[in-house]
Structure 1
Amino acid sequence: MTDAGAGERVCGVCGRALPASMLRPVAVVSGAVRATLDRDEPEWAHTSWICSDDLRRARQTTIEEMIREDHGELTVLDRAVLKSLAASGTVTVNPEEVYDKRLDFGDRLADRLAGFAGSWTFLLSFAGVLVLWIGVNSFALFSAPFDPYPFILLNLILSCVAAVQAPLIMMSQRRQEEKDRLRSENDYRINLKAEVEIRRLHEKMDHHLLMQWDHLTRLGKAQDEIVRQLRAGSGADRKG
């Protein structure tokens, strides 16, 4: 244990002498964190101070055990949330930006083609081409139609378009599923962190309520003692 100098106090867990700004009174430690310290540091001083590093480490361990108890083995997303809590950072990411960074030229081209193939512009344009094709080859506009009935060339073109369009749509759907997965992971991280933060707030509120109740109890006892002393003094004056 390090000896404390002027303006310093000793941490009850690690025993380091640190400035008062880097220490917290043990009274502010909630019950769950205190139980973690009792288990991991059985010899820590309960009536002293605790440094910010040890308090943060104990809180991190408590949160990790809570998540492990609720969800089982920690996943990559759970560890990302724990890391964010330890760093007091955010876990929110923009799925669109993450998804766009993973796309190459072929993926972008396939998405554009699939988007165009599923639009009213493509549908109306393709319907117009079909009507024009059938009309030109059905009526006697030319002495020798280039694709007479039953429009074998048109069937071949339609088959080729369908053969190319189906993989494009499937690739686009697969990438949409990937984008939905990124959104779901982002929502999970946000919800998990919000749940942990709400639990911590509840623990802090309960802890502060208990501290206030203890303080009020001590004040009440002190007031009762003062009243008894005043009554005793008043009785002695009357007898005198």
Structure 2
Amino acid sequence: MKRPTFPAPYKHEHAPVKNVNEVITEQLTIGQKAADWIAARVGSWEFIIGQSVLLTLWALLNVTAWVRHWDPYPFILMNLVLSLQAAYTAPMIMMSQNRQAARDRIEAHNDYEVNLKAEVEVKEVLENLAAQNIAIAELQTMLETLLARQDDRE
């Protein structure tokens, strides 16, 4: 009588999956953190509302002359301040976006690696299930043979 053979247990031989966000956050420089902070603040409704209030107050104070006219109409100083703000915030926002694009590429690559690992795992599970089906069929045949012999003896 042939004994059924069972496959060896599957061993996980791949590196653990890494959290991309943690890896990238650990590698951030001070400049990158500053760019992300500025991009997050400038791209918010709080900033838009706050800047709108500030510019409205600036214009009102200079038009009504409640306080000395430090920037009379056409508000050349205000335009200079806004130009300087745009000149510095735009590149910082672009730096943050470029870094985010790089992060997205790393995350896509990580997803690809996870999918490859999952494919290997699924193949192993299917192979083990096929081996179990063969072993069960062999056991069933052996049981039927034993039962047939027992019926013949009776």
- The TM-score bracket by the shorter chain reads 0.7 to 0.9
Q: State the partner residue of 1:131.
A: 56
TM-superposed deviation, 1:166: 0.9
Offset at residue 26 of structure 1 (A): 8.8
Whether 1:224 and 2:148 are equivalent positions in the alignment is yes
Partner of 1:27: 5
2:81 aligned with 1:157, yes or no?
yes
Partner of 2:102: 178
CA 26–178 in structure 1, closer or farther in 2 if over 3 Å, else same = farther
- 2:6 partner letter: V
Q: How far 1:227 sits from its partner (Å)?
A: 3.3
How big is the shift at 1:102?
1.5
Residue 141 of structure 1: how far off its partner (Å): 3.2
Q: How many residues align?
A: 152
The answer as to 2:95 corresponding to 1:117 is no
Counterpart-to-counterpart distance in 1, 2:36 and 2:150: 82
The alignment yields a C-alpha RMSD, in angstroms, of: 2.8
Given that 2:41 and 2:47 are in contact with CA atoms closer than 8 Å, whether structure 1 keeps it comes out as: yes
Q: Residue 100 of structure 1 aligns to a residue in which SS?
A: helix
Q: Deviations over 1:17-55 (max 9, x none)?
A: xxxxxxxx99223xxxxxxxxxxxxxxxxxxxxxxxxx7
- How far apart, CA to CA, are the structure 1 residues paired with 2:41 and 2:70? 29
Paired with 1:112 and 1:142, the residues of 2 have a C-alpha distance of 34
| Corresponding position of 2:121 | 197
Once residues 142 and 120 of structure 1 are traced to their aligned partners in structure 2, the CA distance between those partners, rounded to angstroms, is 29
1:226, CA displacement in angstroms?
4.0
- TM-score of the pair, normalised by structure 2: 0.80
Equivalents in 2 of 1:100, 1:26: separation in Å? 52
Alignment of structure 1 residues 1-240 onto 2, 5 Å: 27-29=5-7, 85-86=12-13, 91-141=16-66, 145-228=69-152, 230=153
What are structure 1's unaligned runs of at least 5 residues? 1-24, 30-54, 61-84, 232-240
Whose strand fraction is larger, Structure 1's or Structure 2's? 1
Amino acid of the residue matched to residue 45 of structure 2? Answer: W
How far 1:142 sits from its partner (Å)? Answer: 5.4
Q: Which amino acid aligns with 2:30?
A: F
- TM-score in terms of structure 1 length: 0.55
Give % identity. Answer: 36
Instruction: Please give the alpha-carbon distance, in whole angstroms, between the structure 2 residues aligned to 1:156 and 1:215.
Output: 87
SS of 2:13's partner is helix
